[in-house]
């Protein structure tokens, strides 16, 4: 005779049985059936979501204190995997390998604050999930710094970074308006740039708000100003193989569910960037890249 045949749950405990089962299977409790039904059959049958990322880009993807991948992108994609009833399998690769790896089918998705651009959209599809504007990282205690009023200031810059072109355009605008141009101090890598700023060289450093907030949190000599550079934000997306409409639809439905129940907003808020979350309209109808 089996245990199941002999054991009888007391009637008064029957209403609590479902609660205990939910605790035992938290991922299953979050499954969005419409999203799971939309999955490609091969992914649903495999039961896993293969995720490519590079854990060298905090706060979006990095090695947590326990040695496991963590960050905005990692938490979000794990949340979506749970809603799809899939086990997330994260592989740490070099950044340039993410898009080709998804395109070739080695991975189901890729994440690493990958900005949606016209060039990238030729190779893969994207599900937009975050936006990030440029802010200003300054030495702690610096007053009066505004990302939209930099004429006459000195910016520290990393050689070859996207911020160089932006800073040059801002400086040209200062000159056109008859104001003093922006001065630049160049450094070979980000670490040297942050160190120079912390040591009082230059007035500020243009940086994505999410990254700036994360850096300032770990450096008692730096702070992030509240201002955001005027202009369009960069929008990042989950990388999906070109033409994989079924997986795109499943992930979109899962993301919309996370938006509706607040779990998506919580991921962004936990990293100090609640305004990095997209609206339902932005998810469904992204602006042209």
Residue 190 binned pLDDT confidence (cut-offs 50, 70, 90):
confident
pLDDT of res. 289:
65
Specify the 3-state DSSP secondary structure of 23: helix
Average pLDDT over residues 50-63: 95
Give the confidence band of 196 by pLDDT, cuts at 50, 70, 90: very high
In this model, does residue 6 exceed pLDDT 60? Answer: no
pLDDT, mean of residues 241-258: 98
pLDDT at 183: 98
Catalogue all structural domains in the chain, each as residue range(s) with its CATH number.
Answer: 31-131+234-284 (3.40.190.10), 134-224 (3.40.190.10)
- CA gap 171, 206 in Å, rounded: 13
pLDDT above 80 (res 58):
yes
Q: What is the tally of helices (H) and strands (E) in the chain?
A: 14, 13
Tokens of 229: 């550079």
By C-alpha distance, which of 158, 164, 141, 131 is closest to 282?
Answer: 131
Torsion (CA) 254, 51, 70, 258 in degrees, nearest 10: 0
Specify the pLDDT at position 191.
Answer: 87
For the stretch 128-139, pLDDT in tens is 999 999 999 999
């Amino acid at each position: 005779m089996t245990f199941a045949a002999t054991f009888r749950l007391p009637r008064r405990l029957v209403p609590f049985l479902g609660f205990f089962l939910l605790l035992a299977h938290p991922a299953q409790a979050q499954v969005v059936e419409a999203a799971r039904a939309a999955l490609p059959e091969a992914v649903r049958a495999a039961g896993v979501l293969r995720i490519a990322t590079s854990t060298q880009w905090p706060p979006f993807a990095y090695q947590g204190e326990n040695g496991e991948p963590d960050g905005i992108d990692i938490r979000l994609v794990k949340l979506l995997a749970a809603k799809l009833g899939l086990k997330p399998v994260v592989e740490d690769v070099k950044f340039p390998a993410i898009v080709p790896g998804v395109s070739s089918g080695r991975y189901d998705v890729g994440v690493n604050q990958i900005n949606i651009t016209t060039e990238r959209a030729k190779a893969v599809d994207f599900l937009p999930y975050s936006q990030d504007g440029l802010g200003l990282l300054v030495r702690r205690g610096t007053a009066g710094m505004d990302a939209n009023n930099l004429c006459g200031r000195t910016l520290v810059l990393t050689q070859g970074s996207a911020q160089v072109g932006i800073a040059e355009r801002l400086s040209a605008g200062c000159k056109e308006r008859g104001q003093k141009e922006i001065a630049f101090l160049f450094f070979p890598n980000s670490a040297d740039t942050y160190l120079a700023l912390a040591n009082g060289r230059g007035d500020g450093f243009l940086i994505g708000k999410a990254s700036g907030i994360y850096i300032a949190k770990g450096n008692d000599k730096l702070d992030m100003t509240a201002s955001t550079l005027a202009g369009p934000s960069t929008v990042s997306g989950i990388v999906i193989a070109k033409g994989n409409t079924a997986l795109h639809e499943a992930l979109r439905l899962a993301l919309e569910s996370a938006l509706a129940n607040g779990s998506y907003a919580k991921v962004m808020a936990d990293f100090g960037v609640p305004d990095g979350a997209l609206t339902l309209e932005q998810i469904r109808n992204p602006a042209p890249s």
